[in-house]
Amino acid sequence: MRCAPPDAYLVEGGAVLSGRLRPAGSKNAALPDLAAALLTESPVVLRNLPAIRDVESMLALLESIGVSVERREDGIELRAAAIDPDRIDLELCRSIRASILLAGPLLARCGHLRLPPPGGDVIGRRRLDTHFLALEAMGARLEASDGAYSFGTSGLRGARTLLDEPSVTATENALMAAAVAEGTTVLYNAACEPNVQDLASMLSSMGASIEGAGTNRIVVTGKGSPLSGCVHSVAADHIEIGSFIGMAACCGGEIRIEGVSQDIVAPTMGGLGRLGVEVRFDSGDLVVPSGQGLRVLCDRGGAVPTIYDAPWPGFSPDLTSTAVVVATQARGTVLVFERCSRAGCSSSTSSWPWGPRSSSAILTE
């Protein structure tokens, strides 16, 4: 592949792609992990952070409120010994979706903050109500005025909370707040995604008591005080792993992906496996063998199978496009269907409860 003009790439196909690689840290795990550093005055060292703009923006946001950020060879050290939420960079907040993840830890640590609506990608309506309801259940007060949200509390307390949707970031916000609240918090209908599990692992290493991460019922026994520091490695990005599996399957070579657990790959293979993609595990690595004979696996009776996305442990919506590309190289017919929850759809265009943003394609040999 050789570079064309700066805004384009010229790709010369036909090459067999093979090799060995280590997946980057997950963006969706790194951002809440960075926010969790606010829950302690002690140093927090994060390793395996992905080198992406969202991470740099989050670091800049933390620095704007007084967090010390030191870049080391083995990761980034953060120290939130003296922070002031009133100094937060509001423009940066408006540029990144993950700024909402500061609500839980800053409210728990400082008792107040003011945030504008978060920015980031616009993919239909992305509601924040689940965040607000979870924090209010623990004793937060919320006011909306002048295009921003003002949070306050006289002290967070544990609560039994049914999240009105399994929002990943709302689950993460609630986890961080509950970790230092007084008493026990039970989150029902919690998100189960790997990044939620990664955050729970980090909080546990900081002294939090968390049970049930990775299920839809999480129990947090709050400390009622700040947590301790820790050294934590951000989990591998399961979306990147799935993308490389699809690439290897289509391009004919053998690829070895280092340090991949079977649990994190199982949902991905639930979709790609229906297209005949095969993988194996060898000494802690995932291997995509060369010469894949891609063939759609029909349902019983020869019916056309369907691949559709769903919350974890379902097939990730971020891998739908990968599945479509792999399907074009497989023999047989498959229906690829994208669904989404009300959180990702505009309710103004359809009364159907799952929203209008869905697409399907039938792909044949």
pLDDT band at 119 (very low <50, low <70, confident <90, very high): low
198-255 pLDDT, tens digit per residue, is 999 999 999 999 999 999 999 999 988 899 999 999 999 999 999 999 999 999 899 9
Q: Can 318 be counted among the known catalytic residues?
A: no
| 326 pLDDT above the threshold of 90 | yes
Q: Answer yes or no: are the C-beta atoms of 195 and 175 closer than 8 Å.
A: no
pLDDT tens-digit readout, 93-117: 988 889 999 999 999 999 999 998 8
Task: Classify domain 27-233 at the CATH class level.
Answer: alpha beta
Q: At 14, is the pLDDT very low, low, confident or very high (cuts 50, 70, 90)?
A: confident
Give the residue among 257, 252, 215, 253 at the shortest CA–CA distance from 238. Answer: 257
Per domain, the residue ranges of the chain are 27-233, 238-363
Backbone torsions φ then ψ of 265, nearest 5 degrees: -95, -25
Give the end-to-end CA distance of the chain in Å, rounded to a whole number: 28
Burial pattern 25-57, b for ≥16 Cβ within 10 A else e, equals: bbbbbbbbbbbbbbbbeebbbbebbbeeebbeb
- Interval 278-288 mean pLDDT: 95
Per the rule left: phi > 0, alpha: psi between -120 and 50, beta: everything else, 259 is: left
* 346 pLDDT more than 70: no
27-233 and 238-363 agree in CATH topology: yes
Contact assessment for residue 132 and residue 116, using Cβ atoms and an 8 Å cutoff: no
Q: What is the DSSP string of 137-196?
A: HTT-EEEEETTEEEEE-S--B--EEE-SS--HHHHHHHHHHHHHSEEEEEEES----HHH
**pLDDT the model gives residue 89:** 92
- Strand pairing partners for 306? 335
pLDDT of residue 209: 97
Catalytic member of 7, 121, 146, 282: 121
Q: Residue 213 in contact with residue 200, Cβ under 8 Å?
A: yes
- Name every residue whose Cβ is closer than 8 Å to that of residue 146 and which is 6 or more positions away in sequence: none
Span 24-37, average pLDDT:
96
pLDDT tens for residues 125-154? Answer: 457 889 999 999 999 999 988 888 999 999
Indicate the burial class of 299 (C-beta count within 10 angstroms; 0-12, 13-18, 19 or more).
Answer: exposed
Residue 271: CA atoms inside 13 Å, Cβ hemisphere, count?
32
- Is 345 a residue whose pLDDT tops 70? no
Structure tokens at 225: 């005080």
For residue 73, pLDDT beyond 70:
yes
Q: What is the mean pLDDT of the chain?
A: 88
Which DSSP state fits 98?
A: G
Asked whether residue 120 carries a pLDDT value surpassing 80, the answer given is no
Per-residue confidence band for 7, with pLDDT thresholds at 50, 70 and 90: confident
Mean pLDDT of 65-89: 95
Report DSSP letters for 283-352, one per residue: TTEEEE-SS---B--PPGGGPPPEEEB-STTSB-GGGHHHHHHHHHTSBS-EEEEE---GGGS-TTS--S
**Fold assignment, 238-363:** UDP-n-acetylglucosamine1-carboxyvinyl-transferase; Chain (3.65.10)
Is pLDDT of 69 > 90?
yes
Structure confidence at residue 6 (pLDDT): 65
pLDDT at 122 over 60: no
Q: Highest mean pLDDT: which of 141-155, 179-193, 338-352?
A: 179-193
Closest CA to 295 of 229, 200, 365, 195: 365
With a cut of 70, say whether residue 362 has pLDDT above it.
no
- Percent of the chain past pLDDT 70, that is, above it, reads 89
For residue 238, give the nearest of 23, 91, 34 by alpha carbon: 23
Instruction: Give residue-wise pLDDT tens across range 238-251.
Output: 999 999 999 999 99
- Per-residue pLDDT for 308 more than 80? yes
Q: Which residues lie closer than 8 Å to 41 by C-beta, 6 or more apart?
A: 79, 80, 81, 226
**Bond preceding residue 313 cis, omega within 30 of 0:** yes
